[in-house]
Amino acid sequence: MNPYIAEAVAAMDKVPVSRYEHPGSWAMDPASCRFLAGFVRALGAKKIIEFGSGFSTLMMAREIAPLENNYLLSIDSSPLYSAMAKEAFDGSGCQAKVEFRVAPLRPRFYGPRLLLSYSLPAGLLEALGPFDLALIDAPHLDYGRESVFYDVFRALAPGGYVVLDDANREDMERAYVRSWQAAYEGAIDPILLEGIGNGLGVIEKLSEAGPAYPGKGALTASLKTLNNFGRLLFLPEEQPENTGD
Ligand SMILES: C[S@@+](CC[C@H](N)C(=O)[O-])C[C@H]1O[C@@H](n2cnc3c(N)ncnc32)[C@H](O)[C@@H]1O
pLDDT by position in tens, the chain (length 245): 899 999 999 999 999 898 888 888 889 999 999 999 999 999 999 999 999 999 999 999 999 999 999 999 999 999 999 999 999 999 999 999 999 999 999 999 999 999 999 999 999 999 999 999 999 999 877 788 999 999 999 999 999 999 999 999 998 999 999 999 999 999 999 999 999 999 999 999 999 998 999 999 999 999 999 999 999 988 877 767 654 44
Confidence (pLDDT) at 241: 64
Mutate to test the pocket of ligand 1, among 26, 40, 100, 141 (most ligand atoms within 8 A of CB): 26
Q: How far is the CA of 198 from the centre of ligand 1 (A)?
A: 15
The rounded Å distance from CA 191 to ligand 1 centre is 24
Q: Please give the distance, rounded to the nearest whole angstrom, from the Cα atom of residue 211 to the centre of ligand 1.
A: 28
Phi-psi region of 92 (alpha: psi -120 to 50; beta: other; left: phi over 0): alpha
Are 160 and 129 contacting, i.e. CB atoms less than 8 angstroms apart? no
**Residue 236 vs residues 100, 168, 232: alpha-carbon distances, Å:** 23, 28, 8
Q: What is the CATH number of domain 3-234?
A: 3.40.50.150
How far is residue 6's CA from residue 13's CA, in Å, rounded to a whole number? 13
Nearest of 124, 114, 125, 176 to residue 153 by alpha carbon: 125
Choose one of 60, 81, 228 to mutate for the ligand 1 pocket test, by most ligand atoms within 8 angstroms of C-beta.
81
**What is the residue with the minimal CA distance to atom 17 of ligand 1?**
26
**Adjacency order of strands within the sheet including 47-51:** 98-102, 71-76, 47-51, 131-136, 156-165, 200-205, 188-193
Our answer on whether the CB atom of 56 is closer than 6 Å to any ligand 1 atom is yes
**Gap from CA of 105 to ligand 1 centroid (Å):** 14
CA distance 41 to 161: 13
pLDDT value of position 245: 41
How many other C-beta atoms can be found within 10 angstroms of the C-beta atom of residue 1?
8
d(CA 101, CA 86): 10
Q: Is 0.85 surpassed by the pTM of this model?
A: yes
CB atoms within 10 A of CB 195: 10
- pLDDT for 244 equals 42
